[in-house]
Amino acid sequence: MMRRVVTSLVLLTAIGCGSDEPVVVTKGPSFTVDPTSVRVGIGQTQRVTVHGFGGESIALAFRSADSCVAQVTTDGVVLGVGAGITTLNIDVVHGGQRIPVTLPVTVAELAVLRLTIQSITTGSPPTAVDLAAVRGLVTVTANVDPTTFATVELRLAGRSVETRPVPQAAPDAPVAPVVFTVNTAARDAAGAPLYPNGPQQLQLVGTRSPPAPGCAPRTGSIVQALTLANP
């Protein structure tokens, strides 16, 4: 594990040397920061420690630049909250000096986000649609991980069709089915098609619960290209 050794710099003004330029003297209190960077998964923790040399006392203050990515306790334990990159800011008061230290923090997803299209069917009994000529009423079945996503939205041709909550999965099942029905030939009050014919995209957008209070919800999506061909 890498450790960062920090030596504070004391600026002195030279006197009687024919110059008033500051002289940098590399003497002063030193300390180590361990580790030099933090990488955790969501829900995982890692402790950052600061040790002074020579038994000198150290006062510390830890702050996360983005608490929606990572949070930190007063004693330096970093918790991964949401996937992303941020920085950990440490104020070190050592030997009568305040020395700021910054560490990079990376929080990664630990699991595969399960959001897939199981089928797009039409009719009864249901048969798979021809994606090159989709028309009329179709049923879209999604497989969704309920531990990751709270809701799923169906979009067609850039228009929101419906948003549904994700139910609990059956015992020992990693995903739960979410079923949508959409009339691809639907028209608005003026008679214009809601979903114009031609190449379009069918999209499922899963919304995750906010990783922490005050944080924005996160989303994941999957897209299926198709062609609408309604009369």
pLDDT per residue as tens digits for the range 105-119: 999 987 666 899 999
Confidence of residue 57 (pLDDT cuts 50, 70, 90): low
The pTM score is 0.65
Q: What is the spatial distance between Cα 177 and Cα 117, in angstroms, rounded to a whole number?
A: 10
Q: If DSSP states are collapsed to H, E and C, what string results for 37-56?
A: CEEEECCCEEECEEEEHHHC
**Residues 187, 163: contact at Cβ < 8 Å?**
no
Confidence of residue 3 (pLDDT cuts 50, 70, 90): low
CATH among 3.40.50.300, 3.40.50.10240, 2.60.40.1080, 2.40.10.120 for 4-108: 2.60.40.1080
4-108 and 115-228 share one fold: yes
Which are the contacts of 217, defined by CB distance < 8 A and separation ≥ 6?
A: 150, 207, 208, 209, 210
* CATH class of the domain defined by 115-228: mainly beta
Lowest mean pLDDT across 14-28, 63-77, 86-100, 150-164? 14-28
Q: Where are the domains of the chain?
A: 4-108, 115-228
pLDDT per residue as tens digits for the range 76-106: 999 999 889 999 999 988 777 888 999 999 9
